[in-house]
Structures are given as C-alpha cells and as structure tokens.
Amino acid sequence: MPPPSNVKDIAPPEHLTSLAAGGFASGALRFGSISLLSHFLLLRHPVYRGLTVQFKVFLQISAMTLGGCIFAEKRVTEYNDAVRRRNRALERSRRAWSEEQEIKEMVERREAAGK
C-alpha cells in the first residue's frame, strides 16, 4: 500500500463517524462527570477558589474534550480490530473450504481411476 501522502480522497466508512461520535459523547460524559465532581470537591481548596471562573470552565471543558477524544479513539480502534478479526476468520474459512474441495476432488479422481 502506498504511503498515506500519496493516497487521495480517503474517506472513512459512513457508520464509523457515528461510532466515533458516540464514543466521543460517552467519554465526554464520563470525564465531564468526574470533572464536575472534582469541581465541587475542590470548592473549599484555597488555590482552586482563587482561580477565575473562565479558567475553571476551561478546566471542565478540557477534561470533557480529553475524555471524548480518548473514547472516540478507543471505539474506532475496537471497530478496526473487529473488522481485521472478521476478515482473518473469513480468509481462514475460505482456505479451509478450498482445501476441503481439493481433497474431495482428489478422492473422486482416485475413485474414478480405481474403477
């Protein structure tokens, strides 16, 4: 396969985008809930209390974005691994089927030659 720089018009499968979006939403929700919980736990901490509201919001959004990116990548990787596993299983099945057909043909030829 040529290097990615020489390949033009690469588009992922349509369902992969929705899968990644679902992973992003899941990760953003998980990391966002943890971030929100930590926000309420840190309200009494003097350093956190001294931060501006804008920076606190930035911290929350950063955590949600990080979680979303991690989980989107995880879902896409799991999908790609599943596709590879399925393709390998299909190839093994094709090879086994062709070997079985070859054996049947050899047996039929031997039986025909023996008569």
pLDDT above 90 for 112: no
Encode 63-93: b = buried (16+ Cβ within 10 Å), e = exposed.
bbeebbbbbbeebbeebeeeeeeeeeeeeee
Closest CA to 22 of 68, 88, 79: 68
pLDDT tens digits, one per residue of 42-98: 999 999 999 999 999 999 999 999 999 999 999 999 999 999 999 999 999 999 999
The pLDDT value recorded for residue 113 is: 84
Token representation of residue 93: 């099945």
Tell me the pTM.
Answer: 0.72
Query: Whats the size of the chain, residue-wise?
Result: 115
Helix (H, G, I), strand (E, B) or coil at 2: coil
